[in-house]
Amino acid sequence: MKISRRRFLHLVAGVAALPTLSHTARAETYPARPVRWVVPQAAGGASDVSARLMGQWLSERLGQPFVIENRPGAGGTIGTEAVVTSPADGYTLLLAGSFNAVNATLYDKLNYNFIRDIAPVAGIMRNPLVMEVNPSVPAKTVAEFIAYAKANPGKLSMGSAGNGTPQHMAGELFKMMAGVEMVHVPYRGSAALLTDLLRGEVHVAFDPMLSSLDHIKGGRLRALAVTTAT
């Protein structure tokens, strides 16, 4: 079955993917042994939680363990390359995402071609980003935040899950469109970012809703906007 580019990009918004399979892989006997599932982000973030929930469900349904392996770093390229260089037998999966599309345009030289080397399997979730601030920031709307940032140029810090991640790109796009200055502070994953955001070490972040919802409901963080159409 041929997959259009538009359909492919839709799938990689949140997809379990695997290296292009050889003809020896047979669906009727799969899986016959444990499956390694690489998550290119640090433990504790939205991607990690999603993979562990789905991995548990797949393990129960298919009768073989789906072992989650976190391989964070370089905006997801380290984990992706680990999957691409694994045997193409269907026993190493990748939790792909929008970062794969970002990396294809962000980096001139990658040791893999994502469209050629990774085959999409299934869409898992859509997890919008939420623009959130530490409650110490005196802003309850985006307009108030922009006004505060313009009145305090360079004094606000914006955390992200790492250089080149969708969270980083969302923050940079916001800075450009709003015309504000903020210091970017990259972390190794959402969990570390949220720890410092809760402490007030950084002021604002664009992070997946799944990671932040409990903190927002508990009043520990304040949501200003979400990256959805409605």
Query: Do residues 190 and 138 share a domain?
Result: yes
Query: Do residues 218 and 167 share a domain?
Result: yes
Query: Do residues 98 and 143 share a domain?
Result: no
CA distances from 213 to 139, 200, 226, 228 (A): 19, 17, 12, 15
Quick check: 136 pLDDT over 60? yes
Top-ranked range on mean pLDDT: pick from 71-75, 123-127, 138-142: 138-142
Mean pLDDT of the chain: 86
- Residue 25's H or E segment, with its range, is none
Distance CA 150, CA 155 (A): 10
Quick check: 115 pLDDT over 50? yes
- For every residue of 142-160, DSSP letters joined together read HHHHHHHHHHSTTTEEEEE
Q: Mark which of 89, 123, 157 sits at the end of a domain.
A: 123
Quick check: 216 pLDDT over 90? yes
Give the list of residues 6+ apart from residue 98 with CB closer than 8 angstroms, or none: 12, 13, 166
Q: pTM of the entire structure?
A: 0.68
Q: What angle do CA 174, 81, 205 make, to 5 degrees?
A: 20
- pLDDT number for residue 22: 47
Distance CA 167, CA 162 (A): 8
CA distances from 206 to 13, 158, 225 (A): 17, 8, 9
For the chain, the domain total comes to: 2
**Per-residue model confidence as pLDDT tens digits over 83-103:** 999 999 999 999 988 888 888
14-28, 119-133, 204-218: segment of lowest average pLDDT: 14-28
Round to the nearest angstrom and report the end-to-end CA distance of the chain.
Answer: 33
Query: Do residues 156 and 210 share a domain?
Result: yes
CA distances from 211 to 7, 51, 65, 118, 141 (A): 27, 13, 25, 27, 21
Instruction: Kindly state the percentage of the chain with pLDDT values over 70.
Output: 87
List beta partners, residue 207. 130
- pLDDT number for residue 27: 56
Distance CA 141, CA 74 (A): 32
Query: Do residues 106 and 173 share a domain?
Result: no
- Residue 70's H or E segment, with its range, is strand 66-70
81-85, 118-122, 133-137, 214-218: segment of lowest average pLDDT: 118-122
**Per-residue model confidence as pLDDT tens digits over 52-75:** 999 999 999 999 999 999 998 888
Reported as a pLDDT band with limits 50, 70 and 90, residue 19 is low
Q: Who wins on pLDDT, 159 or 8?
A: 159
Query: Do residues 68 and 21 share a domain?
Result: yes
Query: Do residues 109 and 12 share a domain?
Result: yes
